[in-house]
Amino acid sequence: MRIEPTPYDHPDSVKLQAEVLAEYVVRYGDDEGDATPLDASMFTPPRGLYLLAYDPEGRPVASGAWRGQEENGEGYADGDAELKRMYVIPEARGLGLARRILAALEDDARAAGRTRMVLETGTEQPEAIALYTSSGYAPSPAKFGHYRHHDNSLCFVKPLA
């Protein structure tokens, strides 16, 4: 498996984004999946990064990204790197791809001068919660992001120092 930086609006990226949004619809029972406003420019280095993992046949099988955040009305702090679009297709789960992508994103955010990785996930994603807590993320005392006022929203943080 190879992991490559890829533009957020690349066709392979768009394909996996559609799959993760469809999974959110199934897990959370709404029609929009994730209404967080995202734009390709948010994931352009050095202010962010979007990664895709490809299988040996060249098929995109996993994704993950970070985007820079500064203190704002959504609860972020200066120097935050927000984790977004972590996803592994069902056939590729259990191979350690999410952990590899997460580590690469943390390294890149750290190299870009970010001081804290933050993420928002939901109560219906136990696999994600297990990945993050086993990777050193702790529940945040304050919520942030688009879904910060939702009861099923969970926020986690990890220092990048």
Kindly give, in sequence order, each residue whose CB lies less than 8 Å from that of residue 39, ignoring residues fewer than 6 positions away.
8
pLDDT at residue number 147: 78
How many angstroms separate the CA atoms of 85 and 49, rounded? 11
**pLDDT at residue 48, rounded to an integer:** 98
Q: What is the mean pLDDT of each run of 10 residues along the chain (161 residues)?
A: 96 95 86 76 96 97 97 90 96 97 98 96 93 97 82 93 82
Query: Domain segments of the chain: what residues?
Result: 2-159
Tokens linked to 8: 């957020």
Amino acid 31: pLDDT: 64
Tell me which CATH code domain 2-159 carries.
3.40.630.30
pLDDT of residue 155: 94
3-state SS of the chain is CEEEECCCCCHHHHHHHHHHHHHHHHHHCCCCCCCCCCCHHHHCCCCEEEEEEECCCCCEEEEEEEEEECCCCCCCCCCEEEEEEEEECHHHCCCCHHHHHHHHHHHHHHHCCCCEEEEEEECCCHHHHHHHHHCCCEECCCCCCCCCCCCCEEEEEEECC
Q: The tokens of 151 are what?
A: 């009861």
